[in-house]
Amino acid sequence: MTQTVEPLVETLKLLADNTRLTILALLKEKEMCVCDIVDILQTTQPNISQHLRKLKKGGLVIETRKSQWIYYSLYLEDKPYLEGILEELPSMKDDIRKLNPDCCK
């Protein structure tokens, strides 16, 4: 084949997973630290860390350290073709409201 869809497929693979797409839906609401995400998704910390690493490597999120916490936020400026999907994500406001208030403190 002359043209290839491969780079696009790599990005879509990052979205095509329940855990990662939920993380993106969460980060769409606001930036979050790892412990917040672990608290909401009810899985292990290494599992979330590994998904975040993939999202970071794929250029979908960026991280900023604030003392001991590392905050992740969406970075989709260079991928406007994902806008439709971003809008299709369900609201995570209810889950964020129920966050353990002792997390990140």
Instruction: Provide the binding-site residues for DNA, judged by CB under 7 A.
Output: 13, 17-20, 33-35, 38, 43-47, 49-54, 63, 65, 67-70, 103-105
Strand arrangement of the beta sheet that strand 69-74 belongs to: 32-33, 69-74, 61-66
In whole angstroms, give the CA distance from residue 28 to residue 70.
17
Under the binding rule (CB under 8 A), the answer on residue 16 touching a second copy is yes
Q: Burial-class residue 59 by CB neighbours within 10 Å (0-12, 13-18, 19+).
A: middle
Binding mask 61-80 for a second copy (x = CB under 8 A): -------------------x
Q: Which of 65, 67, 77, 84 binds a second copy (CB under 8 A)?
A: 84
